[in-house]
């Protein structure tokens, strides 16, 4: 595929995503008992490209949340990546996050210091990353991306953190303009 051969021409390192992670997990594999209020429960429907919807969520009890975070405890700077249904949408967990737990449809990526979250998030939202995800999908009706395949995703990695920050900032600015244009078009 041309997109993959083009990437090989990059002057930057190409590393498997697993080398940039200190932990990779996903949310609970059982459907919890939902409550009217409590702790927010995030699933694939709450994660879009660069954004996590903390408003339109389901809720679980605090007791259930405390059990779930023993295995999967999202923290600011981690990345959420959709892995069941809508595949490959990434967002950075913000610093001002409310407490929340995750469903199995969302992977939690905890990063090493080799990569900044905003750069990796931008990269995971690219065509190249999504094409890699598509190659590894399992399932007929509902596509499923397994954690081991997420780890194998190749990442173009500039070693200069300052350069990573510049790329991330440029991506964020472009994404804001894109969102603004969509909002304007919707208003028409």
Which 3-state string (H, E, C) describes the chain? Answer: CHHHHHHCCCCCEEEEHHHHEEEEEECECCCCCEECCCEEEECHHHEECCEECCCCCEEECHHHHHHHCCCCCCCCCCEEEECECCCCCEEECCCCCCCEEEECCEEEEEECCCCCHHHHHHHHCCHHHHHHHHHCCECCCCCECCHHHHHHCEEEECCCHHHHHHHHHHHHHHHHHHHHHHHHHHHC
Residue 102, beta-bridge partner list? 42
Q: Are 110 and 23 in contact (CB under 8 A)?
A: yes
pLDDT of residue 146: 93
For residue 78, what pLDDT is reported?
A: 98
The region of weakest confidence among 114-123, 128-137, 144-153 is: 128-137
Is the pLDDT at 2 greater than 70, yes or no?
Answer: no
- Structure confidence by residue, pLDDT tens digits, 36-64: 999 999 999 999 999 999 999 999 999 99
Q: Does residue 50 contact residue 81 with C-beta atoms inside 8 Å? A: no
| pTM reported for the whole predicted model | 0.91
pLDDT of residue 138: 76
Q: Is 154:16 a contact under the CB 8 Å cutoff?
A: yes
The first and second tokens of residue 188, run together, are 């028409």
Mean pLDDT, the chain, rounded, equals: 92
């Amino acid at each position: 595929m041309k997109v993959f051969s083009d990437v090989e021409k990059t002057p930057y390192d190409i590393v498997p995503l697993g080398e940039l992670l200190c932990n990779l997990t996903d949310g609970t594999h059982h459907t919890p008992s939902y409550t009217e209020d409590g702790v927010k429960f995030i699933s694939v429907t709450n994660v879009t490209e660069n954004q996590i919807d903390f408003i339109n969520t389901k809720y679980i009890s605090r007791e259930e949340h405390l059990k779930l975070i023993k295995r999967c405890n999202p923290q600011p700077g981690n990345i959420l990546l959709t892995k069941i249904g809508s595949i490959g949408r990434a967002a950075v967990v913000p610093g001002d996050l409310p407490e929340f737990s995750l469903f199995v449809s969302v992977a939690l990526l905890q990063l090493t210091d080799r990569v900044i979250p905003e750069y990796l998030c931008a990269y995971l939202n690219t065509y190249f990353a999504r094409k890699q995800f598509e190659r590894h999908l399992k399932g007929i009706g509902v596509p499923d991306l397994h954690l081991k395949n997420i780890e194998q995703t190749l990442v173009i990695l500039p070693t200069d953190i300052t350069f990573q920050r510049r790329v991330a900032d440029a991506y964020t600015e472009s994404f804001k303009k894109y969102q603004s244009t969509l909002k304007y078009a919707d208003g028409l």
